Structure 1
């Protein structure tokens, strides 16, 4: 069994209920949820939106290989209302790189593997620059080391916070 670390989030609809439903589907389809963080509210990152985001980190024991995990994650997103076509239209109309969504599930870590394929990059390439990821991640595993940089997650969060204070 591998240990995958996922982050769920969204800002459309009853997001907290969607996060609970996502956790249920993840438990059914992906594997046993070992630990879960609290739900954290944050401002949209990388674009403007009226609604705040809610995010939660889940640590999951899974028999799925990384590509199978990706397919399962995409299936959960779609079942809970994520419409990537609509998001694409919204991004095209606003010129933004990101858009509001009902649910997003990202794979942050898969054991300590480093994976870089056209469809999948693990560890998640932007986790170190996103407080909305690091805060719930550090609730669960502040001492977890990034498999590429060797940095502890609590140190990555601290550096990000210090950098934001300087800006």
Structure 2
């Protein structure tokens, strides 16, 4: 669904299989072209993987876009991109290796709690690897329903795993 009004969205990118930097650049290029937006990019961060599976470190980045797509339409678009860039959800292990992971972290609209999508991302306040790059782009943004800015959420983030600049 497309409306006449645009909203800002912050999208988290993650991956740890193959040439992740190249894949991020390709995905961002596609978003820019297909959504007719000039994305703002955070720096890339390297992080240890979550979960019990032994795997490569992850690269993470946040992209700010402006679009008239609804959150659900944007989610559908992002999942299509994930599939086109090699993500196979049917074979995945939770917190396992990924060619690409695209998550809607927050937006300038109200909080959403739908079956297919929760915004802000439910784990946003608990993960340095999304808060650090998000703080580069929108330190004063208050994700809907959280009552604290991104920079303040980062200060109290319980995540002890470092997110290091690449």
Alignment of 1:2-81 (within 5 A): 2-81=7-86
CA distance in 2, matches of 1:102, 1:34: 21
- Give CA-to-partner distance per residue, 1:104-151, whole Å, 9 cap, x none: 000011213211111011111111101100010111111111221210
Q: Aligned to 2:105, which of 82, 104, 108?
A: 108
Runs (4 or more) in structure 1 with deviation over 4 Å come to: none
How much is the aligned-residue C-alpha RMSD, in angstroms? 1.7
Identify, as 1 or 2, the structure richer in helix: 1
TM-score with structure 2 setting the length? 0.87
Q: Aligned to 1:136, which of 133, 138, 141?
A: 133
Aligned length: 156
Q: Aligned to 2:150, which of 126, 141, 153?
A: 153
Alignment check: 8 A CA contact 1:30 1:69 kept = no
Identify, as 1 or 2, the structure richer in strand: 2
- Report the alpha carbon displacement of residue 50 of structure 1 after superposing the two structures with TM: 2.7
TM-score with structure 1 setting the length? 0.87
Alignment check: 8 A CA contact 2:7 2:109 kept = no
